[in-house]
Structures are given as structure tokens and as C-alpha cells.
Amino acid sequence: MKIVIPDDYHGLVPKLDSYKKLAGHDVTVMRDVAPSFETLVEKLRDAEIIVAVRERTDFTRTLIEQLPKLKLIVQTGRSAHSIDLQACTDHGVAVCSGSHASPHTVAEHTWALIFACVRRISEDAATFKVGKWRDWFSTSLRGKTLGVYGLGRIGEPVAAAGAAFGMRVLCYAREATARRARKLGYEAAVSKAELFAQSDVLSVNLRMQEATRGIITATDLALMKPTALIVNTSRAELFAPGVLVEALKKGRPGFAATDVYENEPVQNGDHPLLELPNAICTPHTAWLEPYTYELYFGEAFEQAAAYAAGKVVQLLNPGVGARP
């Protein structure tokens, strides 16, 4: 079958061991960065199966209507909110997604951002390279408060690392999560306001869904200390539009580190966070390591190959037949 993989602008997918699972099929890997609608239609028009790389392309009704040969979209990872499921069902396009990949790479990246910020690693290295001595102190985390907003599969290892460094861990989420936090030896904030006001480092680890869209507001951020750091390796849309940039300009919190943005990929440095001296930004690379890639794509390629072989796959829109 004709299989197209859009949005591999890093050029990593064909290097995976799991890529061999598509052997025998006509596979095209697109390296385009944020292609236009016209380019997408041109390059996806003959696709029978599309393996979507995370949420990099929005599969809208308008796009689905332009892909007459399409039979299946396989979403890498679990989230499929970038795919119009009803439009796919209406046009006979099956959709399936994977399960959770390893949370550890995101937790590790969270801590990499924390240390890069509080220890000012980039500035320190740059100063050292030109033979100068720095004239600032780093920040020690021992005894400080680590706020964990969402103690899930990513938040839990983030919290455990903070505890290992001697930090007070303060969690806030649903009551069931609060009970688990106390069971693990952490504190549970009685309110979101307490979490934001007391955190020296606040890690945002919430899942993106309609209930959490814009859940972090300007009022929340204004409660933070001028010395505090907020870290987001989850989704940019958890923040109300524009509030993080404005809060950083006002100095509460004093710093931010982020791996996620409202419109990705960010090209040519065109994002207001990149213009701020008190923000450290990475280009959504927390998951760019071999183990996670193999988990995501290995599962997706298995589903694509199974569907092409006429086998039943688990669908997100069971109203469409599970066989080609």
C-alpha cells in the first residue's frame, strides 16, 4: 500500500529499526516543515495510509475531503485531537492511535531545563569559552519548594527527582491525586493559588484536553515569586493565550523554561518567548531520543502493516470498518 509519513523534518524516522516493519510497501517520508495546505494535498493525495507524527499536521475535514484514496490514519502516540474523527468517519477513513510512550524522557527533559535555568548553564559555558569569569551566583534547589501541577506518569518521576535533591514537593491536582501524593510522602496543596504562590520551581505536567485548555491564567502567574521558575514540557495551550509572556515581562514568575508552543514548529526564531532574556526554550525535543521514537513509531508501523494485511486494528472511530 501507499504509505506517507508527513512532518519528519528531523529526518529521523527512516533511521529507526522499526522502519523495517513497513518493508514491501511504497513508503514516502516528507521532510517539509509546516507545509502549506496545497503542498499537503499534493503530497498526500495518493496516500492510502498516513502515519501522523504526533500533532504536527491538523487533519481537518477540508484536508480529509481532498484525499480520496485515504483509508487509514495512524497517529503516533495516544493523542489524536489534531484529527477530525467525524470527518474521517464520514469519508470512510479509519483512525487508530498508540498507547502512552515512556514518560521518562519528558521528565528528564524537564529536569534538564530546570538545571539549565537555575545553574545558568548556557551563560556559564559561553563565558568560560571566551576566558571570562562569571559574576553571578547559581541557585541551589535543596530546601526549596518544587510545585508539581499534575502528578501523573510524567509528574511522578519529576516529583521523585525533586525529593531526591532535597526539595519540598508540593502537588496539586484532583483529590485522588492528592491522596497519592500524600502516600508518596509529598504535600498536597489545598488550592491552585497555594501551589503557584509557594513554588520556587513549578513543573506543569497536565494532559491537554478541553477541561485543561487555558487552565493557567494571568491571575495564577501573578501569585508566583519573582525568583520562581515555571517549566512547561506538556502543552502550551494549558496557558491562557499570551499570559506567560506578559507575566515574564512583569517579573512574576522571574523565569520560564518551555519545550512547547501554541503553533509548532516555531520557525526562524519567530516566537515572543525567544525574545525574552528570562526564558529558556527548546524546540519540542523532549521526546527526540531513540527509545521513545521506537516506542511511538514501532507501534504505529505495526498497526499500519496489520491494516494493510487485512487484520483488525483497534480504531478510534469504530463506525468505520477495521479492515481495508
Catalytic site includes residue 235: yes
Q: What is the mean pLDDT of residues 282-306?
A: 93
**Domain parsing of the chain, residue ranges:** 2-101+289-308, 104-281
Catalytic site includes residue 25: no
Q: What is the mean pLDDT of residues 268-280?
A: 95
Digit-coded pLDDT (tens) for 157-176: 999 999 999 999 999 977 88
* Residue tagged active-site, from 109, 120, 156, 235: 235
Q: CA neighbours within 13 Å on the CB side: how many for 277? A: 3
For the domain bounded by 2-101+289-308, which CATH number is listed?
A: 3.40.50.720
Place 126 in a pLDDT band, splitting at 50, 70 and 90.
very high
Place 14 in a pLDDT band, splitting at 50, 70 and 90.
very high
Q: What is the mean pLDDT of residues 173-197?
A: 91
- Does the pTM exceed 0.85? yes
Mean pLDDT of the chain: 93
**% of the chain with per-residue pLDDT over 70:** 98
Q: Output the pLDDT for position 235.
A: 94
104-281 folds as Rossmann fold (3.40.50)
Q: Output the pLDDT for position 100.
A: 66
Digit-coded pLDDT (tens) for 58-100: 999 999 999 999 999 999 987 787 899 999 999 999 999 887 6
* Residue tagged active-site, from 120, 252, 271, 284: 284
* Residue tagged active-site, from 264, 289, 294, 302: 264
What is the rounded end-to-end Cα distance, in angstroms, of the chain?
A: 10
Digit-coded pLDDT (tens) for 194-239: 999 999 999 999 988 889 999 999 999 999 999 999 999 999 999 9
Q: Which residue has the higher pLDDT, 103 or 217?
A: 217
Catalytic site includes residue 246: no
